[in-house]
Structure 1
Amino acid sequence: MGVSGTLEYLSEKLSNSKKKKKKQLNTVAVKIRMDCEGCALKVKKALSGVKGAKSVDVDLKQQKATVYGYVDAKKVLEAAKSTGKKAEPWPYVPYTMIAHPYVAGVHDRRRR
C-alpha cells in the first residue's frame, strides 16, 4: 500500500490544485445619473454584459441600478462608468454617522 497510497495522495493533491474558487452570489447596487428611458436602457444593456450577471434592475426614479449574480462590485462599477454617466456605489449611511440615542448620558435623569 506504500506506492499505491502515495500515488493516490499525489493524484488527489494535483486534482485539488486545479479547482477554481466559486464566486459568491452578490447583489450590487449602483447610483447612476439617468435622465430618460434611453439612458436607463443604455445602463441596463451595459450592466447585463458584466460576466456573471443574472439579472439587472434599473430604477429611473431613484437613479439606481441593481445587478444580481456572481459579479464583482468593482466590475459592475466599471461597466456603469463605461456608459459615460456619473456612477458611484449606492449610498449608505456609515455606522459612525448614526445618532445613538442610548449613549451614556442621554437617558441619565440625574445629569439633567
Structure 2
Amino acid sequence: VYDTLADWETGYTTAFLAQNGYTVRTVGPEREPVTTMGGLRIQPDLALAELRPEDSALLVLPGAGLWDAGDDLAPFARTARAFLDAEVPVAAICGATAGLAREGLLDDRAHTSAVSF
C-alpha cells in the first residue's frame, strides 16, 4: 500500500485470497499510514524492507497516481524483481504495470498491460 493507491483495484482479489486460507498483509514504504485515492487511511502491517519473498505466496501491486509521478514507488518494482527471481508470482494492476515496465520486468515476459511501441 502506498499514497494515491487505487483502493478499488484489489477488492475482489483480497477477498478471494482471505476466504481461501491466505493471510493478506499490507506492505507500505514504511509502517506509517498511507492515504489512498479514495481518502482511506491504511496502516501497513509491514514496511517494504521487511517483506521477504520466501514468506509470501503472491505480491499484488495496485495502481496509484505515484507510479507515473516520479520514482517514489520504484522500490516496489525492485521488490517485484526479487519476488520473480524467487519464483513467487507478482500481480501488477493498472499503473503498477508501468512501474514494472520501467524496471525492465515486462521486456521478455507475457503481460496484458498496454501496448508497447
Q: Note whether the superposition's TM-score is higher than 0.5.
A: no
Higher helix share goes to which structure? 1
TM-score computed with the length of structure 2 as normaliser: 0.25
Taking CA–CA contacts closer than 8 Å with sequence separation of 6 or more, which of the two structures ends up with the larger relative contact order? Answer: 1
